[in-house]
Structure 1
């Protein structure tokens, strides 16, 4: 599936609105233009420096002491006083924990996360993923039989990683749809451009999410062998036990990354497999193809499209002088289509020799600790769906789905299928 259109680079660069429909629907021509004409580009609307070439993005990611992660979870749209009051009254706080942590506490907290999502645990999760996928796909088949159509996003891709994460983390007593709503609200509030009225609605949901996490961490009703149990035993560099606020911040990030972004990856991989000739039936039976397809999806169309950094001191990127405090936006989506690294980047090429050189999970000290689990879930989800629904095809109205278009997250919000 190729994306049409090239841009006239003879005219001065006038980069589009990062939240605009034209960019969200087809960002590739703009990203090609950035890489070729202005690889370190200052966006006057957001005040961000857009870094788009693979080598430059990687350079920034591998120098976390110079390019700090402190702003990674800041709200991109200023929060009005009314929203701040809601958050403050509820005691909402997200101290440095994982993605936004450049302090000495980060290595230890990261070890807790990487140990919990290590290769052994991912392997042990495979039957859990397969069981939940089978259950959800049985419901999908029933809906197809009853109505002739079904949305694989809301019925399958979105729910699967949430239920898997709940089992892996030992979470009970809350409905998956509630966790999904809380997680999606968090993404929109901090990475979107909602209206003030919408910000108030989102803040109430984010507060409910934070309060539930806080209660779960403080009461300790989860298993001592769970992720939260591991956090409760963790000690900071000075030997003090991990404070509840930071433990909540760790869980907040893990929940959002472990369910929302993984669901976005799954639905993107499913849609692209359904429209690329011959791929869908092959993923059902061809060994390794689902894994290779997911990897190409991560390269070309990752759910996490950008990430932020801030300069600790004056520095240079690709010959461009940046002052201390410069806010940087790393164009992860664009880096995966850099032709100097990935030849013929617009084509989906399973088993591309260097595909794992993509930066969809970041690089270096802050690389996503759940990368292996996300890859495994997406590949198993694709294979299971192709086997259960061999004749599935996207419905005509699903050709141009609504899109999630946040600063750092992009994915189709629909994958309506029908049976011939």
Structure 2
């Protein structure tokens, strides 16, 4: 098992890690954005440096764009598809060898819908999509509000609290667990597995991180395999039960879909809530405006997504020779699409480096991607984060940071691993927040 893990790390992660570390020593801003402390903690100045180099920038491992129109175009263009990380970072001989050592079902390997294109992507996404329609998400509103209110009621006020672990992760994990039919007592397992598996979305992660991620993936798949077999005998009213009963997906595809939905179901929202707290505390004038104009909360969530998105990048690979942005790309060329860069493009957003909860076109951000691979759970994330943030600041109006933030050491996912806060006084529970 260990040798299989190591081989996959070398082919998909080890080579780009070596290249990027060498480039970082030479002062390459993209290498610093990818793996340096500045990149993890404060990526936006580096993004602006790279934007100044052109609409398409050639990096040590792929092309990259920080241009809104190019990003939006590629995300919607059928001539650009998705691939697993190893398919564009490893040489062909290593890719061929890696296929001889298949990994268990994973959110970042086929048949996960994250890394496959139509028509296979359509087949995998269609049976899941009904659980994320506007009507289906609205039915979850009461549950979101109940979970949030209960968590806030239990937060201690006379000590420093890690807001991420005590609150931000707890809201979305409770909701997605219910949607997938998992017992409440298993939420801690999924938080543990998800925390270790998320780095698989990155490029060039360390060997120990990769090994821990695949070990967690094996444990999750053992759990999902047993859970799916139970659902075959006694299905419920959750998403996985529907998929099992539908018979469209085999056991491998069911496990891949289950692990993807579980991870994506809380990972984006956790970081959206955390980033929202950071930005609102950093911009007290905007927080005060929300107190005066609470009807702006939905737009505030959109501005948080634009200004400090929880997912910073995605990738697309040309399926044919294509010219875009004045550059001729060849079939197989991969482009790192900077969602964070697109969201701060002055060509798309006026005064983009200003955090403005009243911004007219904030919702035009690309934080949830675009096109066929747009985030399936975007509506749910908006609802969860919108209620969680508003309720948090209403219940604890004196909330403040109580120490330095611990940022996640990742390139793709942007958020806080730890956020020490002092909650201050607990305000009386306000009138119910209207939908």
| Range into which the TM-score falls when normalised by the shorter chain | 0.7 to 0.9
Give the match for residue 33 of structure 1: 49
User: What TM-score do you get using the length of structure 1 for normalisation?
Assistant: 0.85
Give the match for residue 148 of structure 2: 133
Which residues in structure 2 correspond to 1:247-326 (within 5 Å)? 247-280=254-287, 283=290, 286-326=293-333
Give the match for residue 67 of structure 2: 53
> Secondary structure in 1 aligned to 2:256?
helix
Which residues in structure 2 correspond to 1:2-401 (within 5 Å)? 14-17=29-32, 18-44=34-60, 47-63=61-77, 65-71=78-84, 91-92=104-105, 94-140=109-155, 142=156, 144-145=157-158, 147=159, 149-172=160-183, 174-191=185-202, 193-220=204-231, 223-234=235-246, 241-280=248-287, 283=290, 286-395=293-402, 397-398=403-404, 401=405
Query: Unpaired segments of 5 or more residues in structure 2?
Result: 1-26, 425-435
Cα deviation digits, residues 377-402 of structure 1 (max 9, x gap):
0000001101211111112x23xx12
Structure 1 pair 409–327 and aligned structure 2 pair: CA distance change class (3 A):
same
Q: How far apart, in 2, do the equivalents of 1:315 and 1:97 lie?
A: 27
8 A contact 2:235–2:245 mirrored in 1: no
More deviation, 329-338/314-323:
314-323
Structure 1 pair 283–177 and aligned structure 2 pair: CA distance change class (3 A):
farther
Q: How far apart, in 1, do the equivalents of 2:136 and 2:370 lie?
A: 22
8 A contact 1:284–1:383 mirrored in 2: no
Cα deviation digits, residues 236-264 of structure 1 (max 9, x gap):
xxxxx321111211122111111112101
Q: Over aligned residues, Cα RMSD in angstroms?
A: 2.7
> Secondary structure in 1 aligned to 2:57?
strand
More deviation, 225-234/337-346:
225-234
Structure 1 pair 75–220 and aligned structure 2 pair: CA distance change class (3 A):
farther
Cα deviation digits, residues 246-289 of structure 1 (max 9, x gap):
12111221111111121011111122112211444554674332
Cα deviation digits, residues 68-120 of structure 1 (max 9, x gap):
11236979799xx9xx99x9698445422322121423224323232101111
Query: Unpaired segments of 5 or more residues in structure 1?
Result: 1-11, 236-240
Deviation at 1:192, TM superposition (A): 5.6
Give the match for residue 7 of structure 2: none
Q: How far apart, in 1, do the equivalents of 2:207 and 2:101 lie?
A: 17
Give the number of the structure whose residues are more often helix, by fraction.
Answer: 2
Q: How far apart, in 2, do the equivalents of 1:72 and 1:367 lie?
A: 19
8 A contact 1:72–1:309 mirrored in 2: no
Q: How far apart, in 2, do the equivalents of 1:410 and 1:117 lie?
A: 24
Give the match for residue 8 of structure 1: none
Structure 1 pair 59–135 and aligned structure 2 pair: CA distance change class (3 A):
same
> Secondary structure in 2 aligned to 1:316?
strand
**Count, aligned residues:** 389
